[in-house]
Structure 1
Amino acid sequence: MKFNTIGFLLAFFFSPFFLFGQESIRLDRSYQGLSLASALDSIQKQNKVRIFYQPKWVEGQKVTQNTQGVMLVDFLNQSVQASGLKAVTYHGTIVFVANNPELYQIENSADDDLVVIGDQNAKLNEIVSVKGYISDGTNDEPLIGARVYITSLNIGTVTDFNGNYDLRVPVGKYTIEYSSISYENKPIDVIIKSAGKLDVALFSGSLQLDELVITADGQDANVQQRVSGLENMDIKTIKQLPTFMGEVDPVKSLTTMPGISTTGELSSGFNVRGGETGQNLILQDGAVIYNPTHLFGFYSAFNSDMVNEVNLYKGGGPANFGGRISSVLDIKLRHGDDEEYKVSGGVGLVSSRLTAEGPILKNKASFIVGGRTSYTNWLLHSLKNIELNSSSAAFYDTNVKLLYRIGDKDYLTGSFYLSHDDFNLAGDAQYDWGTTNFSLEWSHVFGAKWMSSLVLATSNYEVKSENTENELEAFSFRNGIRNVVGKYEILYKMHPKNTISAGIEYNHHQIEPGVLKPFVGNTSIDPVDVSDQQAHEVAIYIQDDWDLGARLALSAGLRASGFWRVGEGEIYDFESGEQVNRVPSSIDSVFYGKGDLISSFSGLEPRLSMRYLLTTSASLKMSYYRTFQYLHMISNTVSATPQDYYITSGPNLDPQYADQYSLGLFKNYRNNLYQISGEVFYKKMYNTVDFIEGAELLANEELDGSLVQGDGKAYGVEVQLKKNSGKLSGWVSYTYSRSLKRFEGDYDYETINNGDYYGSNNDKPHDLSMVLSYKLGARWVLSANFSYSTGRPITVPVSNFRFDKTPSVLTYSERNAYRIPDYHRLDLSLTLLPTLKKSSLLSGEWIFSIYNVYGRKNAYSIYFTQWGGAKKMSILGSVFPSVTYNFSISK
């Protein structure tokens, strides 16, 4: 069966002639006596073929012949020949083109607003290529996914990642509509004489709040897009949500969408459809982000002033992404303005940011630099938690992005990211962690249909911690991960309805699991240096996005990945058997030299997403994704923390993989004013990792023996209702889901909860988000965000006993058998927008926000004393008001 499936996919990808044969359609009935317009409409429905024409060309005409048994194209040509028309096939459709120049009035047109494309007259029935570049008129930044459309022919296309488009259209006179959500539509009347070029700049509308949910493909994109499980948010949308202390957070904004949640208060780590935090691939301009947080999750690692687009794939995404089994978060930073210098920023109560951009070479090269810093100690001192109240913290980050247009066909971009955090817990424990990333991308356009992209990136994440509470037990600990990636991709636009991409990707992983060093004079802790882990990961892939007709569209891909762990390093063999009732000890080990192959794995990852249009405003989508993950994140906490670290698959640890299925219905009402969607999903996970009771996870040279692998499953229903414009706009998202694990081994120590399924740390059945925005006037906007979720699972003591004066001995429940209290919170913000006057040098807005309006003391965790008493810990149990001033200065 596997070979048949692979053969079908290969045939599907490489068969450019697998199209519709209109020339072979023979009419099976007579339309004699009907109007030509009615006959054409009936033919389209009965033969599942699309015929494009202008209605005025067939007005008043009737079918005068018996059409039964006549070839379709012959009938069409005979019917419209007298009108100076001709029927030609064009990429799976039939288009009427003119033999009569008067229908187009190409020559000697007196309309001064007409734009003439082409410098020579092509044949009147010839289909030619109109190319161009669509940009933001304020900064010349390319608009990705902008729409180019000719209504009269129902033909269009969208721009690629460089803002370029290629529209194939018959010569003639048309109105081309250029549009992109949050930008004003721009219709242009054109005369297309031959192949040519037309560049267009679009400008934002004066009232940008009319669009709350931003997508890349225009109106009805949620219905029309082929890829299932894609959440796309523009930074303009993200900035409208209520914020914590005035800081905009792209990741937290995504958690208001169905199927996306967090496990704890103020955690920037996120969980997608029952997956774990470490099962998400997070990319910023192609470089991996391993810890998407600042200050233990108080802030996101992403500077909103630098972000251009946020895309989250909830099922693993197209075949050009891989390496994680839960989701892909792809964040693109914006380019700097290459025409004028600008400065923008914001000043808040706990952090400030500043961004500068401008041309290096006008219209050729540009830069953008952004930085943030914090002054958060007063915030920690106001928290109810005693340890946090006595602590201090700070962070900073910097982004730099350069763009250089080598020519019309080549673009070079470089992106640099540096971040650093330090946290002193109650004067005893010191944590420092930081990220240094760099990426370089070269985009090349070979011609009308071919383009390529080469990405080289490095990621370096390091964590250091010290504990000086007791001089005799003082120690320092560090761990980290480094990654180098090279990715080359070629994209081929076979025609506007079929785009094929293929590529190869290489990752080199270097992991330092941990180095533990005692301070001078400390004799109670032995130094430990866990062997570094090295691995090579290679993948080849092919992806095809194809409209198979007026209703059916596919996004299909195949990814083949391989993983090789190499030395040097020591691999342990562990004891096993019924007699082992504790964490197993090693009984032998093998040392591998530098570069020696330790173990290898491979996987085949098919991806398929289908969309079927029920109507022009409703669609049915279904998908299947298989994904492999060769790295495992080791954590004993429920939220993303700096102490989490990765290890590779190897002789004692198999790679994780998952199969996910989804089925969804999407419907828009009243010209996209309302959107409603419902989706069900089921995900089966294999070789998931948990730890054995009593395991030591920090600086453990024999960590493999403390881990156990098993199965997991997640399933659920996601529902969302959106209102996109008007005084009141926003969305309501609800998810019911379960995330379960099961570990049943050959021996007792490998079995958890008697081998039954139990809730994972992120198993929260009910999750509700409400995001509303109300325009109080031309410049005042009131926003609200309410969230509710079921409390996460925990393990609690169920009984205790004492003997004489000894402390209680606690007996714990099965793992994750109980839950903390349910979570709910309301946030409000009031925004005073900038003046609508565009002549001002300085533009500014004020944001007044209240986080946790009714002061809910949501439980972060439940702790138990040695006597079995319970204590609830709340990170934020107070109301947090804030005020932020955002500004921009342009030349």
Structure 2
Amino acid sequence: MRKIIFTLLLFLFNISIFAQQAKEKTSLQLNNATLKNSIETLETESGYKFYFDEKWLINDTLKITKNYQEKSIDAILTDLLDETDLNYFIYDEKVILTKNTSIISDLEKNLIDLPSETNVKKEEIFTRKPIYLKQYDSIKPTSSERKIDQFSIGKESKSNSKKLYTLSGFVKNLKTGEGISNLFIKVKNSKRNTVTDNSGFYTIDLEPGISVLEFESVIFTKSTKKIVLYNDGKLNVNLKENINELDEVIINSKASEKIKSTVTGVTVIEIEKIKTIPLILGERDIFRVAAALPGIKNVGEGASGYSVRGGKEDQNLVLLDNGLIYNPSHFFGLFSAVNPFTTKRAMVYKGSIPAEFGGRLSSVFDITTKSGNLKKLSGEAGIGPVTSNLSLEIPILKEKSSLIVGGRLTYSDWILKSLKDEQLKNSQASFYDIIAKYSHKFNAKNQVETTFYNSKDAFSISSDSVFKYTNRLFTAKWDHTFNEKSKGELIFTNSEYKFNIEYDANNPRSFDFGYKISDTQLQLKLGYLYNEKHKISYGISSKLYGINPGNLDPKNGETILNPINIEKERGIESAVYASDNYKFSDKLLIDVGLRYSRFSALGASSQRIYQAGVPINDATVIEVKNYGKNEVIKSYGGLEPRISARYFLMDDLTIKASYDKTYQYIHLLSSNTTQSPTDTWKLSDLNVKPQAAQQFSFGIFKNISNPDLEFSIEGYYKKSKNFLDYKVAAQILLNENIETELLQGDGKAYGVEFLIKKSAGKLNGWIGYTYSRTFIKLDSQFNEEKVNNGEYFPANFDKPHDISVVLNYKFTQRYSLSSNFVYQTGRPITYPIGTYEYGGAEYTLYSDRNKFRIPDYFRLDIGINVEGNHKLKKLAHSFWNFSIYNILGRNNPYSVFFVTTDGQIKAYKTSIFAMPVPTITYNFKF
């Protein structure tokens, strides 16, 4: 085998020659051969002489098993070199291989047929100048870019008429091998740019020739790559962590990315960046950080549940690796049920909800777990006053598969005994959660991930009662890349939430009460990069619900209780969606999506039929209809259009607008003003309609690059139908005919959200302010189904004013001071305003529903953070946090309730943390 010298190639490339097409047939048998061995065998069998540079094949890992019978040299070479960057040219029983470039003769110029759908003339293709590196000498690297890596991508095609080619690939953490999401990629001296997706994958359309790509991130060292692009191709990039900048940004929502996207009301929370925020008992908590952002409010101190842009707690879709978590909290709502050490990030959508998500009206918390380290064993551990946490990242097959395992447990009894409330002081509580995620990369096109999660809480308010509740989740995802333009995900999920109350006082009232809800879902998500202007996504999903509404089993043989077993509920929710991210121009970007969802309540079930035109109660039942197993009881559905747009007024000033319509077929039933572990879920059926909402949003976004400030103001207006509420003194638990206690009406919410955020420098953080209102109208022609005379009244979570200030000041790379300030208007409440007599008995007279408010809430927290030294070669990297929660000792009310004693109505206020709570936590990575 001989090497051809480069000057001979140039000579052959520029002269006009006759390309003799080989007509001889050759048979070739290849079995697990390298490309070099295959070419050598073909040379021997065909008698043709091959010329190429052996360096091109030194690192070849392609194994070929083929059987060619009586094939031409052309056909064999075309097939062999299809997945390589090598071209070939045949002349007079000689084969010349070229790297990337293609040699074209004068005769070929006239013979080659163009694709019928193209309008490009042949002359326009073959008169293009060949790509030489020297013609791009004007692109000079800066002093910091002297050693830029250079890559040749793709190979020239004789029949390709495209003016732009697609470059794609993965950007990964060099240390762990994990994909880097939301990383900004720009082309130097060009307006072209893109952002990596959740798995670190990117695509970008470029002109043929040389381009310089810059990969930028706050927490990774900037990388610059020079590429010579001949055709569609791939480039994978590994980035090093920038240790010196670990805490520069608390929320990783890169300003330049935020103003360029079409999405309104979205925030990316990176869990590593929130460790400096002083939170209760030292626990990092995605949900509490989210609640410090405009438009998101917690429903109460020490309570689970969040209200997003005027929505109820059940209107938030909380996903962990695509699986649904029904109760994402521990310990009365004080801690998140999501382990911070194994969590990578959370995408919080509160405005424009992408068409791929459905089933909730207000928001999506899309939480992603880390992938394990593909290269070496690593981990993180933490010790706090209430919890301990440990996570391990274990490579299974180096560079191919990994496992991450994390677990938390609590020793929290001492904190309960320090509370003022006597019931809580004498109670006990504990929880644990475990999570494991396995990732395996089969090849460049196929990867699978599976996640298992389980959590359990147990608490006792008194010595004879125990409350237990658990979350369980399993997800499996198969990622497949079809080509540079198409990719897809097949996702299976199964979720379960259940609780149990055991009351054992050795008396006739002892009982065991249980409840369970589960769902199983299959989704197919596909993406297609049609061209530079159109990025299309589409998919289909189906979810099967199963609910055991509750069972009451007496525990004492001499019980006075009757066993209760509420009939199970089943339903199936399916959807199909498609969206197009359309780049109308450099200034205008539009995202148009359409989702169609359909829900069917399924048997076996018995459903009451009520008389029309009269109130729904036990006296108006006209029929009980029985449905068989899997028989459709009632179906609901509708179109859910989603549209959002971004327009550049200036390079750093954009306006955005969006419209969303959503349906929700499942409802949370709660007898409390705040969400609790014993709340139950109810599917829509013959007598309970699904909720629906429409939201309009508009925002203005402005960036100032120096001193790296971001300003935004967003306004929204939301209307909802079939908003669920309750009749006075409604009985929720263990009610076989729950529809007789429910009311459904209209809702409206509106608000304005302000945000000022500084992302870098010694002082960073944000100031957020929200003014918002939320109202409900429960109107009917019947007084018993009417509330507040059928007029709009404030919802339980209506808090007009909400201010959050989150700041971090870095004295050095190791020492920083953090603080939080929170102020909220007190939530609405119904007060007793007098008494009246009826039938010789005295009764309490209450005000209109939610006419008054509990006292306003405000709190100040401070924290001191100490990083370990930044030596690269050390066993572990440590982090200390010293914080004081509620440093002013503000007695913020958890709830206000009323008790009648000796004929007098007395008001009582319950507070969870009415004193400063100091915390010391120690975390370390290894």
Q: TM-score, normalised to structure 2's length?
A: 0.82
What are the superposed Cα offsets for residues 831-861 of structure 1, whole Å, 9 maximum, x if unpaired?
A: 1012111111121111111111111111111
Equivalent of residue 434 in structure 1, options 470, 477, 488? 470
Shift of the 518–885 alpha-carbon distance from structure 1 to 2, 3 Å rule, reads same
Point out the more displaced range, 471-480 or 706-715.
471-480
What is the distance in 2 between the residues matched to 1:128 and 1:740?
52
**What's the CA shift for 1:159?**
2.5
Equivalent of residue 179 in structure 2, options 142, 164, 177? 142
Equivalent of residue 563 in structure 2, options 508, 527, 544? 527
Q: What is the aligned partner in structure 2 of residue 653 from structure 1? A: 688
Equivalent of residue 376 in structure 1, options 404, 412, 416? 412
**What's the CA shift for 1:165?**
2.6
Q: What is the aligned partner in structure 2 of residue 730 from structure 1? A: 765
Shift of the 210–380 alpha-carbon distance from structure 1 to 2, 3 Å rule, reads closer
What is the distance in 2 between the residues matched to 1:759 and 1:442?
46
1:751-830 correspondence runs (5 A): 751-800=786-835, 809-830=843-864
Q: Contact 1:117–1:198 at 8 Å: present in 2 too?
A: no
What are the superposed Cα offsets for residues 444-495 of structure 1, whole Å, 9 maximum, x if unpaired?
A: 0000100010000000111101234582322221111100000001100112
Q: Which amino acid aligns with 1:620?
A: I
**What's the CA shift for 1:214?**
3.9
**What's the CA shift for 1:609?**
0.8
1:835 aligns with 2:872: no
What is the distance in 1 between the residues matched to 2:500 and 2:832?
33
**What's the CA shift for 1:164?**
2.6
Q: Which amino acid aligns with 1:369?
A: V
Shift of the 484–597 alpha-carbon distance from structure 1 to 2, 3 Å rule, reads same
Point out the more displaced range, 874-883 or 665-674.
665-674
Shift of the 597–126 alpha-carbon distance from structure 1 to 2, 3 Å rule, reads closer
Q: Which amino acid aligns with 1:222?
A: K
1:427-826 correspondence runs (5 A): 427-468=463-504, 471-521=507-557, 523-574=559-610, 586=621, 588-671=623-706, 673-800=708-835, 809-826=843-860
Q: Contact 2:263–2:351 at 8 Å: present in 1 too?
A: no
What is the distance in 2 between the residues matched to 1:822 and 1:112?
59
Equivalent of residue 237 in structure 1, options 273, 295, 307? 273
Q: Which amino acid aligns with 1:515?
A: N
Shift of the 762–693 alpha-carbon distance from structure 1 to 2, 3 Å rule, reads same
Q: What is the aligned partner in structure 2 of residue 298 from structure 1? A: 334
Shift of the 613–380 alpha-carbon distance from structure 1 to 2, 3 Å rule, reads same
* SS class of match (1:858): coil
Shift of the 675–105 alpha-carbon distance from structure 1 to 2, 3 Å rule, reads closer
Q: What is the aligned partner in structure 2 of residue 309 from structure 1? A: 345
Shift of the 648–121 alpha-carbon distance from structure 1 to 2, 3 Å rule, reads closer
Q: CA RMSD in A?
A: 2.5
**What's the CA shift for 1:112?**
6.8
**What's the CA shift for 1:583?**
7.8
What is the distance in 2 between the residues matched to 1:607 and 1:790?
32
What are the superposed Cα offsets for residues 342-392 of structure 1, whole Å, 9 maximum, x if unpaired?
A: 121101110001001121000001000000000000000000111000000
Q: Which amino acid aligns with 1:823?
A: Y
Q: What is the aligned partner in structure 2 of residue 26 from structure 1? A: none
Equivalent of residue 891 in structure 2, options 851, 857, 863? 857
What is the distance in 2 between the residues matched to 1:316 and 1:527?
47
What is the distance in 2 between the residues matched to 1:581 and 1:323?
27
Point out the more displaced range, 173-182 or 705-714.
173-182
Point out the more displaced range, 356-365 or 637-646.
637-646
**What's the CA shift for 1:808?**
5.6
What is the distance in 2 between the residues matched to 1:837 and 1:584?
77
What is the distance in 2 between the residues matched to 1:424 and 1:142?
43
What is the distance in 1 between the residues matched to 2:867 and 2:558?
59
What is the distance in 2 between the residues matched to 1:486 and 1:581?
37
What is the distance in 2 between the residues matched to 1:489 and 1:100?
38
Shift of the 295–210 alpha-carbon distance from structure 1 to 2, 3 Å rule, reads closer
Shift of the 219–683 alpha-carbon distance from structure 1 to 2, 3 Å rule, reads closer
Equivalent of residue 193 in structure 2, options 146, 156, 171? 156
Shift of the 195–817 alpha-carbon distance from structure 1 to 2, 3 Å rule, reads closer
What is the distance in 2 between the residues matched to 1:372 and 1:213?
24
1:281 aligns with 2:317: yes
1:182-193 correspondence runs (5 A): 182-192=219-229
Q: Contact 2:264–2:352 at 8 Å: present in 1 too?
A: no
**What's the CA shift for 1:663?**
0.7
Q: Contact 1:487–1:504 at 8 Å: present in 2 too?
A: yes
Shift of the 316–642 alpha-carbon distance from structure 1 to 2, 3 Å rule, reads farther
What is the distance in 2 between the residues matched to 1:532 and 1:220?
50
* SS class of match (2:530): strand
What is the distance in 2 between the residues matched to 1:368 and 1:475?
40
Is the radius of gyration larger for structure 1 or structure 2? Answer: 2
Q: Contact 1:98–1:125 at 8 Å: present in 2 too?
A: no
Q: Which amino acid aligns with 2:215?
A: Y
**What's the CA shift for 1:729?**
1.0
**What's the CA shift for 1:122?**
7.5
Q: Which amino acid aligns with 1:877?
A: A
Q: Contact 1:318–1:556 at 8 Å: present in 2 too?
A: no
**What's the CA shift for 1:784?**
0.4
Q: What is the aligned partner in structure 2 of residue 881 from structure 1? A: 918
* SS class of match (2:508): helix
What is the distance in 1 between the residues matched to 2:616 and 2:757?
54
* SS class of match (1:515): strand
Shift of the 119–681 alpha-carbon distance from structure 1 to 2, 3 Å rule, reads closer
* SS class of match (2:571): strand
1:42-57 correspondence runs (5 A): none
Q: Which amino acid aligns with 2:881?
A: I
Q: Contact 2:154–2:229 at 8 Å: present in 1 too?
A: no
Point out the more displaced range, 170-179 or 854-863.
170-179
Q: Contact 1:474–1:522 at 8 Å: present in 2 too?
A: no
Shift of the 583–264 alpha-carbon distance from structure 1 to 2, 3 Å rule, reads farther
What are the superposed Cα offsets for residues 791-834 of structure 1, whole Å, 9 maximum, x if unpaired?
A: 00111110025799x99631111111111000001111111012
**What's the CA shift for 1:190?**
3.7
Percent of aligned pairs with the same amino acid: 36
What is the distance in 2 between the residues matched to 1:423 and 1:834?
37
Q: Contact 1:771–1:783 at 8 Å: present in 2 too?
A: yes
Shift of the 196–627 alpha-carbon distance from structure 1 to 2, 3 Å rule, reads closer
Shift of the 365–387 alpha-carbon distance from structure 1 to 2, 3 Å rule, reads same
What is the distance in 1 between the residues matched to 2:577 and 2:147?
49
What are the superposed Cα offsets for residues 231-284 of structure 1, whole Å, 9 maximum, x if unpaired?
A: 111112222211211111011110011000011102231110010001111100
Unaligned runs of 5+ in 1: 1-87, 90-96
Shift of the 599–803 alpha-carbon distance from structure 1 to 2, 3 Å rule, reads closer
* SS class of match (2:243): coil
1:422 aligns with 2:454: no
Q: Contact 2:148–2:224 at 8 Å: present in 1 too?
A: no
Shift of the 148–472 alpha-carbon distance from structure 1 to 2, 3 Å rule, reads same
What is the distance in 1 between the residues matched to 2:175 and 2:275?
19
How many equivalent residue pairs? 791
Q: Which amino acid aligns with 1:543?
A: S
1:339-378 correspondence runs (5 A): 339-378=375-414
Point out the more displaced range, 806-815 or 420-429.
806-815
What are the superposed Cα offsets for residues 397-419 of structure 1, whole Å, 9 maximum, x if unpaired?
A: 00000000011100100000000
